[in-house]
Structure 1
Amino acid sequence: MKEWKVIKMENHRQCRAIIIDDEEWIREGLSEHIDWDKLGIELVRAFKDGTEAFSYLEKETADIILSDIRMPNMSGLELLSRLRERGAGRPDLTQVKVIFLSGFGDFKYAQEALRLGAIDYLLKPTEVEEIEASLLKAKRRHEESFERTAPAAEPAEEPSSYLIKKALQLLSDRYHEDLHLSDLAAELFITPNYLSRLFRQETGKSFVELLMEIRLEKARAMLTQDMVKIYEVGLAVGYPNPRYFSEWFQKNTGMSPGEYRNLYFRG
């Protein structure tokens, strides 16, 4: 097993990198076959998942992360999002350059990675030369950031806010489906627990509360403006069982769908 040593450097320290992958042979291969000395990059640690890496980065620093996407406990995308969240208290975390090295070719992963500020997205298996070229690009970006004094170069929108906006848009688009928190989390490539915390932090409400609000708003609009049958309204907002829809609507509004229509219908 490789023994990791952090070399303390004076003045302008060497660019530091960490590896994150749940496969030990990949971690060992990347550490041994990439010519880190030639690149002028110090490889300081390797981790088996995002949770271990995040704990390390809360106390230590790294300039480049070479990471897998899908891993147990915390994905690479979730790790990047969490690092950006911590930017207010730790500005150095917003400067970390991330390269994703993944075996999954779905474009959504690449799109999400780039939106969150990743430097590159490489598909396994990848030639060492390609990885080294990407690492050099990340190193140059790090050096450029290090030399800047104006923080305005950083993205104006924090990734956590972006994730919530996208989650709310998904809720608005898919409210009529049999939708669960895990469905949205899968779309955003993060864990359900993390998405639940983001909903609470950003909106003060849970996934269930937000979904209910959207469904109620849509149901009310249909009952007051559209000449559709009540069971069709229920079906349109995700409740195919007419009795359950009526009970749910009355519980949340204080009146049945029929009473609401009689009171507010604009025919």
Structure 2
Amino acid sequence: MNILLVDDEPLVRTSMARMIAHLAPAHRIAEAEDGEEALEALEAEPFDLVITDIRMPAVNGLELAKRIRAKWPELFVVMLTGHADFQYAQEAIRYQVTEYLLKPVSIDHIQSVIATAEQELKQRRSAELVGRLRTRSLLEKRVQDLFYELPLPYYDESLFPPFDRFALYTFRVSEAGELGRTARFAIKNVAEDVLAPVGAPVVVAADRAVTAVLFVPPGGGEAVDDAKLRSLAADVERAAKQSAKLETAGAFGGVSAELRDLKALYRRSVEGLGEELGDAHAVEPEAACASADGAGAAADGQMHRIVRAALELIGERYAEELTLTSIAEALYVSPNYLSSLFKAETGSTFTHHLTKARMTKAKQLLRETNLKIYAICEQVGYADQAHFSRMFKTLEGMSPYEYRTKTNI
């Protein structure tokens, strides 16, 4: 967190800076001697928390808070004063000051202020991330729809980044099965990294290929000509070989300024890889419907491709010591990113889907086999039978033994 201390008394600023550095050494602390200098600092770089005195020359603390609220409404502001004046407190509340503290401020009060700001920032950033993930997932789906010239709702046009033209590339790897799926996600990440400095890439990874649409921002055309755009396919291939140790073939579909041309560019890129590729982004029905709870949540193709792949892995490997981290590593994404995607796309956690998949299999074994309950417990990934029975009863409202008895009547 970036913290700005504002006070016209140097000793007060220095003392408080040392106190915060001791309490929270990971945070960056800057100082300003009055409100005017503080505004200059805020213009120069972003801050998360401002702790300011009220009585200062030039721009005082209340005026500073007013200007901060007008220009940086998300910024946390804490007021300090040596005067227990109710009028000041009222003014501070008007400008949505986070807290109003009297000098001298105790270590406990400062620690509480910092902890509150950290927690609110964490919650805010988490909400923003989920929002971005939802938007990104929907944009990928809309781009994929345009590969097949499906109608694009008028309200979805706002999803697309500003552009004056776009380029399209399709990449294919030779690996098959789980290795091929993992390779495609690696290629997706590589393509995003290579193309991002030029524009706004939207990369779709499906069953047999990875297609990237690079939206060149308005004005970017002067610095990036068509020859440069064409060369980016080879750049992605080289980066994939160097960073992911993957041999991949890429094809350039072309450049256009009209979204309606996406299908033609996509087809051209597919043909450039070989006609046998066919509909590289058609989702196989069985794979699309493979969700951990059997509900077919991804049957309409709208679920994010990483979540679909994660659910497939859960369905295949539920009996193993499966964790969010191990799944994330298999998909070349971070655990935090995967966790956020699960929540955004399904409304539930990774653990919920893993438990549901295990219990679905356990119910099948209870109905269709004579295996002992401890054996079923082991086959669905639980080492502790008592824990398995508790989880089963929580989800099904009855014990495994009662379920078997009821369903075999």
Q: Report the TM-score when normalising by structure 2.
A: 0.35
Q: Does 1:207 align with 2:344?
A: no
Q: 1:225 aligns with which of 368, 382, 386?
A: 368
Greater relative contact order: 1 or 2 (C-alpha under 8 angstroms, separation 6 or more)? 1
Q: What letter corresponds to residue 261 of structure 2 in structure 1?
A: A
| Structure 1 counterpart of 2:160, from 85, 90, 102 | 90
Contact 1:99/1:121 (8 A) holds in 2: no
User: Out of 364, 389, 400, which is 1:246 matched to?
Assistant: 389
Deviation at 1:91, TM superposition (A): 4.9
Aligned to 1:67: none
3-state SS of paired residue (1:172) = helix
* Structure 2 counterparts to residues 41-190 of structure 1, below 5 A: 85=137, 87=139, 89-91=159-161, 95=166, 110-112=183-185, 113=187, 115=205, 116-118=210-212, 119=233, 120-122=236-238, 123-124=241-242, 141=253, 143-146=254-257, 149-152=260-263, 161-190=304-333
Deviation at 1:220, TM superposition (A): 1.0
Q: Is the 8 A contact 2:182 2:330 kept in 1?
A: no
Q: Distance in 2 between matches of 1:200 and 1:215?
A: 19
Is contact 1:199-1:207 (8 Å) kept?
yes
Q: Which runs of 5+ in 1 are unaligned?
A: 1-80, 101-105, 126-133
Equivalent position of 1:196 in the other structure: 339
Deviation at 1:193, TM superposition (A): 1.3
* Residue 247 of structure 1: how far off its partner (Å): 2.1
Q: Percent identity over the alignment?
A: 31
Hey, what's the Cα distance between the residues in 2 that align with 1:82 and 1:203? 11
Q: Residues 4-46 of structure 1, C-alpha deviation per residue, up to 9 Å, x if partnerless?
A: xxxxxxxxxxxxxxxxxxxxxxxxxxxxxxxxxxxxxxxxxxx
| Residues 159 and 109 of structure 1, relative CA distance in 2, 3 Å threshold | farther
Partners of 2:380 and 2:318 lie apart in 1 by 6
- Per the normalisation by structure 1, the TM-score is 0.51
Greater gyration radius: 2
Q: Shift of the alpha carbon at 1:149?
A: 3.6
C-alpha separation between the residues in 2 aligned to 1:209 and 1:265? 27
Cα deviations by residue, 1:217-239 (Å, 9 ceiling, x for unpaired): 11111111111110011011111
Partner SS for 2:381: coil
Instruction: Give the residue type in structure 2 aligned to 1:85.
Output: S
Aligned equivalents of 1:206, 1:98: Cα separation in 2: 34
- Aligned partners of 1:246, 1:107: CA distance in 2, in Å? 37
Alpha-carbon distance in 1 for matches of 2:259, 2:359: 49
Q: Secondary structure at the match of 1:164?
A: helix
Instruction: Tell me how large the CA RMSD over aligned residues is.
Output: 3.8
